[in-house]
């Protein structure tokens, strides 16, 4: 599978995924998120590993050699027939029951065959997931027709690897579950105040001095490549976040002069505030870092942060005050923040990347580049924010109601499920500017010991909201048995497929 073609073109193609699947599935209850259309007949057939194979359709644009689909076939075969693959380690290709993939614009369904049609490899990949979920361990299958496509193109999940370090296996396991739930963007909040685990090739001191440990608690270049490739094979994009000018305490350790020295009266206090936006060296550093980020992370998006900047330190610093005066910002430090963010958003655009920023940047500064994506994280009144941002013509991501690191007792997935991302006052055009949303698992109280049980199946609620038809999925009580079944399938999947050699 080639990764060529412009990024924005690929993004649009993702929205057009339309997979038509006619396959015998045993239990509709296990399909999550709910497909757009699903019809099941009472016809039954049985399934055996000797009589089952995956084949590319004769007219399919994708054929053997398409690494993403070849790998997916192998992966899913071993879920359907775990004992068989354990025993023989072989795929038996015969033609009794064939799951045929046609990546083209034609459809053919014939008896004894299951045909999946998709306009893209990624759609085919998600189609395999839908079909095979329900085949797990069940050797009886019912004839079923599925038409499916996602409601939103951007279905993200944020992991925070700065507040607690997450070992590689925890990230890979998360990516597996994301693919299973049809989440397609891994928002890697890789660095923040507490630690800088990203091992930069340009600035190795950032992790040498800013990580919790310079050898064991870092992501090397090859770790990052592994994450990106693991994600790509599962149809998941990796969007890194290098959040500035706030949330950068750990950056300062390995990059002297980057952060603003705070003052107590007329002398430096010894502590540091946000990135210093008044000196040239800051912008030179950020440009070098962003160039590296562009090189390492192939995705078209990069998240630039811009949230929660405290102004107290800037205000205490005489050089910053002088700069404010020179620029005519008066006492309004939001103008200084905007000045900084505008500079790095322009840098990012020059690197041919699309910026995502937290809502603060919009709240402080309405004239931001039009193609910048805004992400809403503040819980209160997010509907108003959706209205305002889309009215200004910006594409928007909704995350505020999906901060699922905030746990509570019982079935709190229902809160996530009740979210209606397009239920705000605005025109149809405005509604279309909501390109999706993100589940966030911030790391204050999360590390490898509790990540999975906090994330899953709770993240599935948002995954379904972002994929499925809202009208058909409003009732959480109806969804519950499906979710229960899906959770068990996820556990089986982890058990049979996830063997990471780390």
Question: Smallest distance from the beta carbon of 83 to a second copy, in angstroms?
Answer: 16
Q: Which is nearer to a second copy, 339 or 480 (CB)?
A: 480
Say which residues have a Cβ less than 8 Å from residue 5's Cβ, sequence separation at least 6. none
What is the Cα–Cα distance from 390 to 434, expressed in whole angstroms?
A: 8
Question: Smallest distance from the beta carbon of 48 to a second copy, in angstroms?
Answer: 24
**Residue 59 burial by Cβ neighbours in a 10 Å radius (0-12, 13-18, 19+):** exposed
Q: Which is nearer to a second copy, 4 or 449 (CB)?
A: 449
Question: Smallest distance from the beta carbon of 450 to a second copy, in angstroms?
Answer: 3
- Position of tokens 């990764």? 3
Say which residues have a Cβ less than 8 Å from residue 4's Cβ, sequence separation at least 6. none
Q: Which of 127, 94, 129, 91 is nearest to 113 (CA)?
A: 94
Specify the stretch interacting with a second copy by CB under 8 A; choose among 19-27, 103-111, 215-223, 401-409: 401-409
With residue 138 as reference, give the H or E element that holds it: none
327 near a second copy, judged by CB under 8 A: no
502 near a second copy, judged by CB under 8 A: no
361-386 residues labelled b (16+ CB within 10 A) or e (exposed): bbbbbeebeeebbbbbbeeeebbebb
Question: Smallest distance from the beta carbon of 208 to a second copy, in angstroms?
Answer: 23
Q: Which is nearer to a second copy, 330 or 410 (CB)?
A: 410
29 is catalytic: no
174 near a second copy, judged by CB under 8 A: no
Cβ–Cβ < 8 Å for 80, 129 = no
**Catalytic site residue from 229, 241, 287, 308:** 308
Q: Which is nearer to a second copy, 42 or 409 (CB)?
A: 409
Question: Smallest distance from the beta carbon of 171 to a second copy, in angstroms?
Answer: 18
Q: Which of 356, 359, 350, 355 is nearest to 377 (CA)?
A: 359
405 near a second copy, judged by CB under 8 A: yes
What is the Cα–Cα distance from 431 to 387, expressed in whole angstroms?
A: 9
449 near a second copy, judged by CB under 8 A: yes
445 near a second copy, judged by CB under 8 A: yes
Q: Which is nearer to a second copy, 145 or 447 (CB)?
A: 447
- Residues that contact a second copy, how many (by CB under 8 A): 15
- Position of tokens 């080639």? 2
Say which residues have a Cβ less than 8 Å from residue 160's Cβ, sequence separation at least 6. 189, 192, 440, 441, 442, 443, 446
407 near a second copy, judged by CB under 8 A: yes
Specify the stretch interacting with a second copy by CB under 8 A; choose among 64-72, 277-285, 391-399, 407-415: 407-415
Say which residues have a Cβ less than 8 Å from residue 58's Cβ, sequence separation at least 6. none
Q: Which of 61, 71, 109, 491 contacts a second copy by CB under 8 A? A: 491
Q: What are the residue numbers of the active site?
A: 308
Binding residues for a second copy, rule: CB under 8 A, are 405-411, 444-445, 449-450, 452-454, 491
């Amino acid at each position: 599978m080639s990764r060529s073609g412009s990024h924005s073109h690929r993004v649009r193609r993702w929205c057009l995924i339309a997979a038509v699947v006619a396959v015998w599935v045993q239990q509709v209850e296990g399909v999550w998120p709910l497909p757009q259309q699903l019809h099941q007949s009472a016809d039954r057939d049985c399934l055996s590993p000797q009589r089952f194979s995956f084949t590319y359709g004769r007219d399919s644009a994708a054929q053997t050699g398409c690494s993403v689909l070849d790998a997916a076939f192998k992966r899913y075969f071993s879920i359907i027939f775990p004992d068989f693959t354990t025993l023989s380690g072989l795929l038996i290709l015969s033609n009794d029951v064939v799951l045929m993939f046609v990546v083209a614009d034609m459809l053919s369904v014939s008896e004894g065959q299951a045909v999946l049609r998709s306009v893209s490899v990624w759609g085919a990949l998600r189609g395999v997931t839908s079909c095979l979920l329900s085949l797990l361990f069940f050797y009886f299958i019912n004839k079923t027709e599925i038409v499916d496509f996602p409601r939103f193109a951007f279905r993200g999940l944020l992991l925070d690897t700065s507040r607690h370090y997450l070992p590689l296996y925890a990230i890979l396991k998360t990516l597996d579950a994301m693919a299973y739930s049809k989440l397609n963007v891994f928002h890697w909040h890789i660095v923040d105040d507490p630690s800088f685990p990203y091992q930069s090739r340009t600035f190795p001191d950032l992790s040498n001095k800013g990580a919790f440990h310079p050898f064991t608690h870092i992501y090397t270049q090859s770790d990052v490549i592994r994450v990106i490739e693991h994600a790509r094979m599962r149809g998941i994009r990796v969007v890194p976040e290098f959040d500035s000018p706030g949330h950068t305490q750990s950056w300062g350790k390995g990059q002297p002069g980057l952060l603003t020295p705070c003052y107590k009266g007329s002398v430096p206090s010894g502590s540091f505030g946000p990135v210093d936006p008044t000196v040239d060296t800051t912008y030179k550093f950020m440009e070098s870092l962003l160039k590296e980020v562009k090189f390492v992370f192939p995705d078209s998006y990069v998240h630039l942060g811009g949230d929660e900047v405290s102004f107290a330190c800037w205000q205490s610093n005489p050089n910053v005050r002088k700069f404010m005066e020179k620029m005519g910002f008066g006492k309004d430090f939001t103008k200084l923040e905007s000045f900084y963010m505008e500079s790095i958003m322009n840098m990012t655009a020059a690197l041919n990347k699309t910026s995502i920023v937290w809502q603060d940047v919009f709240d402080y500064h309405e004239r931001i580049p039009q193609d910048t994506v805004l992400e809403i994280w503040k819980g209160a009144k997010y509907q108003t924010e959706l209205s305002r941002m889309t009215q200004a013509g910006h594409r928007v991501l909704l995350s505020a109601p999906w901060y699922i690191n905030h746990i509570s007792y019982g079935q709190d997935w229902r809160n996530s499920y009740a979210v209606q991302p397009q239920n705000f006052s605005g025109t149809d055009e405005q509604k279309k500017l909501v390109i999706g949303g993100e589940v966030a698992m911030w790391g204050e109280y999360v590390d490898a010991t509790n990540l999975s049980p906090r994330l899953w199946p709770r993240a599935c609620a948002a995954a379904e909201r972002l994929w499925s038809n809202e009208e058909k999925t409003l009732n959480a009580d109806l969804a519950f048995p499906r979710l229960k079944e899906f959770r068990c399938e996820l556990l089986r999947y982890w058990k049979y497929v996830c063997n990471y050699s780390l």
